[in-house]
Amino acid sequence: MYMVKLISLSEEAYKVLKQLKKDSMSFSDTILKHLNHERKNKTEDLEGLIKWIKSIKSVSKKEKISKNVDEIVYGIKR
C-alpha cells in the first residue's frame, strides 16, 4: 500500500530536485539520498567534540565573557 503525501515546493527547489532525480527515484528518495550523503561527509559527533574541547584545555584564569561585541571591541567590560 502506498501513502500519498502532498507537499509544496518552490519553483526553484523543484528545478534543483528534478536535476538530481533519477528515473527510478521518487522526489522523497532524492531528498533522502542527498541528505544522507551530506551527513556521511561529517565525521565527528558530540562525544568527539567533548573529547576535543577537553584536550585543548590549558591553565587559564576564569572570567565572565560578554557576548556583547561592542563591549568586547571597546573594552567596556575589561
Binding residues for other proteins, per CB under 8 A?
39, 41-50, 52-54, 56-58, 60-67, 69, 72-73
Residue owning grid cell 518552490: 10
Residue 67 CB, nearest distance to other proteins (Å)?
Answer: 5
Burial of 31 (0-12, 13-18, 19+ CB in 10 A): middle
Residue owning grid cell 590549558: 58
Residue 4 CB, nearest distance to other proteins (Å)?
Answer: 25
Q: Are 21 and 30 in contact (CB under 8 A)?
A: yes
Residue 46 CB, nearest distance to other proteins (Å)?
Answer: 5
Residue closer to other proteins (CB basis): 10 or 24: 10
